[in-house]
Amino acid sequence: MSIDFTAMYASHDAFRRDLERLASAVSEGRAFTLPVRAGWDNFKHQLHIHHTAEDSDLWPRVRERVVGRGRDLALLDDMEAEHARIDPLLDAVDVALAERAPELPDLVRALLATLDDHLKHEEDRALPLMREALTGVDWTAFTGRVRKEQGVRGAAVFVPWLVDGVSGEERERVLGAFPAPVRVLNRVFWEGSYRRLGLWGG
């Protein structure tokens, strides 16, 4: 069973997209509006689930498969350390939004750069290692952990969030990574509910 990273890459793209939306909102003076704050809260929620599942379930599984391989173990240490560097920036942006602090633009730029560097590092180095080291059973267990953390209510936001702003063949490719019942639920119910949330003022 091969590992399908479609949803992983789509999640990374969605994180980048949301931070670019936050940066635009800051530059346009909209950062303190309710839709932007709702978008920011959802971004934090999605990133928390993503990184928590990696730290608690994914990286340990990879470690089990690369015992004695110092370079690969060091890469996994880097992944965890990069997660730890992102958390204080999330907190700092939170405080700056709450206090309307003048350093908000700089903090958002720092968060965007730090997260993007981490995602690129993961895509360039960690995902190929996972493809080589993990079995299909390992990957299914990890994605099952993510689904459990999301729950049905969370999935109703996660799936349309993943393809927010994505169109054409890329949208179909991402949605095609999900089972048919999920695609039906997304088309019939979830997309409309997600749009009504008005995240980021969209």
Determine the longest span between alpha carbons in the chain, in angstroms. 52
- Residue 115's closest CA among 50, 183, 184? 50
pTM of the model: 0.96
Position 1 scores a pLDDT of 56
Question: Looking at residues 133-145, what average pLDDT do you find?
Answer: 92
- Cα separation, 65 vs 75, whole angstroms: 13
- Cα separation, 149 vs 142, whole angstroms: 11
- Residue 20's closest CA among 122, 109, 120, 100? 109
Choices 1.10.287, 1.20.120, 1.10.3470, 1.10.10: CATH for 6-201:
1.20.120
Indicate the helix (H) or strand (E) that contains 90. Answer: helix 70-99
- Cα separation, 152 vs 167, whole angstroms: 24
Span 48-93, pLDDT tens digits: 999 999 999 999 999 999 999 999 999 999 999 999 999 999 999 9
Span 102-127, pLDDT tens digits: 999 999 999 999 999 999 999 999 99
Chain mean pLDDT for the chain: 96
Span 1-34, pLDDT tens digits: 579 999 999 999 999 999 999 999 999 999 999 9
Span 172-201, pLDDT tens digits: 999 999 999 999 999 999 999 999 999 999
Domain segments of the chain: what residues? 6-201
- With 0-12 CB in 10 A as exposed, 13-18 as middle and 19+ as buried, what is 160? buried
Position 165 scores a pLDDT of 96
Position 202 scores a pLDDT of 63
